[in-house]
Amino acid sequence: MNKPLRRIAIFCGLLILTLLLRANWLQYVQAEELATRKENRRVQIAQYASERGNIIVGDKAITGSAVTDGSDYKYKRTYIDGPMWAPVTGFASQAFGSTQLESLEDGILTGNDDRLFFDRTIGMFTGEKKAGGNVRTTLNRAAQVAAYKGLGKKTGAVAAIDPRTGAILALVSTPSYDPSSFAGNSKKDEKAWVELKDGKEKALVNRALRETYPPGSTFKVVTSAAALEHGVITDVEAPTDTPEPFYLPTTRTPMVNHAHGCEKASLKHALEISCNSVFANVADKVGRDKMLETAEKFGFNNGKIDTPVRAYASVYDKEMDRPSNSLSAIGQYNTAATPLQMAMVAAAVANDGKLMKPYMVDELTAPNLDVLEKTEPEEMSRPLSPENAQKLQDMMVSVVENGTGKVAKIDGVSVGGKTGTAQHGERNSKRPYAWFISYAKTDKGSPVAVAVVVEDAGASVDREDITGGGLAGPIAKDVMEAVLKSQG
């Protein structure tokens, strides 16, 4: 063979070898990645070729599946009382993907999870259709209904937790949306999606987990905890050295009180009537770094609180100056919290200082209801000693019995609470947020802690009438009563 032909033969051989290598790379190394790419329409068709498993509350499903007309996607997702449960389920849409539990537990719900391999294999021999597993939640139906009805047409959110375990009992955000309205891929679904996505109401936002607000005076519970834990206050009924007026440290700016009788008020009385000056003074004595330490034990600045849906991080500023620390201690300046975070604060106090990690999935089950995975309660931190937690419980109970939280009283039950009216906007020009955090305690412990925020109560409510006790307190009471009744 002459030299030119030999070169051509070698070159052609290299091309063939390259093609063989590429084909084997695609078929064996990249096969899984290519088969599961979102751009692969066959994956999407297969995803909706069978009915999804269900998300369950108690013993009843809050989701379902329906046959899709005129589409190569056979089934689409349906929801029962969709707007009420949307902050829990998220959505699963043929056209717009999925969120929250629908997304995070998609493998179980579609039946594609590796733990369901045996079920799929048996189905191949028995001829049974592929089926998805189920996600059983920790939610309490009665509590969810009470929270959703309580918020009504208001803009706001509710989060309720079992302090003993961290199980989420209610998670509501309003205004909400019906995930069924865009579960398909028709023009009608597209229109519903665009209206929601571009709407001023931000209905797609889960305000309970993924919106932060200035917590206002509800944060005084955290400030009280810091004062007790770091020895600044030992006797909650002893007078403090707070003058009237109290000037923010290093300034001539007076701290405004909306209550009377705050001069030298004890920590307990200051929480009852919500004295800004006392908590600003106490926080300055605790100092920024120790205030930060306590806030972080309650969960602030933690960007990895997964329920399993990840909650936005609540914030206590790490670098602020002395006067800003005093402002932050009354829930203003840069302090920001999700409703879930403030429910965690109330829960830690109620649980004698032990904060449990919040979670909303109780167990994952196979189609035949065999348990694949069960969530075990997990301790997250200890913001308070049991002794100091009991002191703070006494203070919060006094708020409900004698102070600003009387609306939350429940006969025969020990209820602790704290109101909050959070100013915001430039020069506090916007309508304030109304907050209420609380817990109920029986001789069996505390089965529920609640946080309620009302972002906008509607045009009919005057600015002066917006208070945590007036707007948010009754909702918290209804949720607590619903849990207590459901647990006997």
With a CB cutoff of 8 Å and minimum separation 6, the contacts of 376 are none
Distances (CA, A) of 253 to 249, 263, 265, 456: 9, 17, 20, 30
How far is it, in rounded angstroms, from Cα 213 to Cα 233?
28
- Characterise 199 by phi-psi region: left (phi > 0), alpha (psi -120 to 50), beta (else): beta
Strand partners, 306: 310
Phi and psi dihedrals of 460, rounded to 5?
-75, -10
How far is it, in rounded angstroms, from Cα 43 to Cα 54?
20
Closest by CA to 333, choosing from 341, 345, 321, is 321
Peptide bond between residue 215 and the one before it cis (omega within 30 degrees of 0): no
Report the helix count and the strand count for the chain, using DSSP H and E.
18, 16
Catalytic residue among 176, 217, 277, 314: 217
383 close to 297: Cβ distance less than 8 angstroms: yes
How far is it, in rounded angstroms, from Cα 21 to Cα 149?
63
Annotated catalytic residue 217: yes
Strand partners, 436: 419, 452
Closest by CA to 453, choosing from 220, 168, 84, 172, is 172
How far is it, in rounded angstroms, from Cα 144 to Cα 160?
9
Phi and psi dihedrals of 225, rounded to 5?
-60, -45
Q: Where are the alpha helices (DSSP H) in 153-219?
A: 187-198, 207-210
Q: Is the alpha carbon torsion for 441, 442, 448, 451 positive or negative?
A: negative
Closest by CA to 169, choosing from 159, 182, 180, is 159
Instruction: Using the CB atoms, write b or e for 333-357: b if 16+ within 10 Å.
Output: bebbbbbbbbbbbbbbbbbbbbbbb
Please identify every residue annotated as catalytic.
217
